Amino acid sequence: MRQPPMWPLLLLLPAFLAATAADASGIPPAAPPMTPWPERYHAVLVTNLTARGGRLEVFDTYYDWARGGDLTRVREQLAGGGDPPARIVQWANGTAYQIDAAASSCRAFQFATGGLLPPDWKKARAGAAYLGRARADGFDCHVWSNRLFARYYEDVATGRPVAWKFTGIDEERHVLSFEPGRVLEDSSMWQAPAYCFDGSNGGDGQGSSRAHLLVSSRLAGATGAAASFGQ
C-alpha cells in the first residue's frame, strides 16, 4: 500500500538532523560567529516547488525588520501573469496579506505563532542549531536549522545566504542576489489595499487549509502554523 507522500520525510527528518548535528564522536560542531541578517535587505530568489508538484517561481523580496515586515513579489514560471505581479506582505505580528492587484483580490491570514524571523535568528535562544559545513549551489556553506528551515546555507566567505529548504514541505529557495540595506522605493506597496478589508474579494481570511499551506510555505519568515481570521 502506498504511504501518504509526506510521511517518510516527516519521519526521517529528525533522525537526519540529529545525525548531521553531531560528528562521529557525538560532539556537535562548534558554531561559527553568528552573522545576523541585515535589518533591511533585498533578495531575488528562485523557489523550486517541483518536488511537491509545482514549478519554479521568482521571489523579489524586501525584508525590513525596522518596518516590521517583509514584502515579496511573486512571478510564476511561464505564467501569463498579471501585471503587477502578486505580492505577499507579512507583518511581525503574524498578519499577512496575499494581494493580487491585477485581479483586485486579496487574502488575509493570521499566523498563530508567528511573525518575521528576527535578524539574529541564528542565536540558540531562537531555536537554531548549527549543523556544520556543506556545499550548496557550488558554495562552501555554514548550515543552520531552525523551526522554519530544515536547512539554511550561508556562504562561509561572505556570510550571505545561499539557499534554504523548508521544514516539513518540499520547497527550496536559491538566492540569486542579496543586497543589504536596499529598501523598496515604492513604499505604497506595503499598504494592503482597501479590498483586503471590505470582505468582498475573499479578504475575509476564510481560506481553506490548502490555501494556508500555500501561503505559509510562501512566507519566508512565517512559522507555518496558520490560523485564519475569525477562528
Q: Which residues bind ligand NAG (CB under 6 A)?
A: 48, 50-51, 56, 91, 93, 95
Q: How far is the CB of 114 from ligand NAG (least distance, A)?
A: 10
Look up cell 533585498; give the residue: 42
Minimum CB distance to ligand NAG smaller for 26 or for 53: 53
Shorter beta-carbon distance to ligand NAG: residue 104 or 191 = 191
Rank residues 130 and 172 by Cβ distance to ligand NAG and give the closer one.
Answer: 172
Nearest distance from residue 91's CB to ligand NAG, in Å? 4
The nearest distance, CB 200 to ligand NAG, in angstroms, is 18
Q: Give me the long-range contacts of 45-53 (CB less than 8 A, separation at least 24).
A: 45/173, 45/174, 45/175, 45/176, 46/173, 46/174, 46/176, 47/171, 47/172, 47/173, 47/218, 48/171, 48/172, 48/173, 48/174, 49/170, 49/171, 51/170, 51/171, 51/172, 52/169, 52/170, 52/171
Minimum CB separation from ligand NAG for residue 103, in Å? 21
Using the minimum distance from each CB to ligand NAG, give the nearer residue, 86 or 136: 136
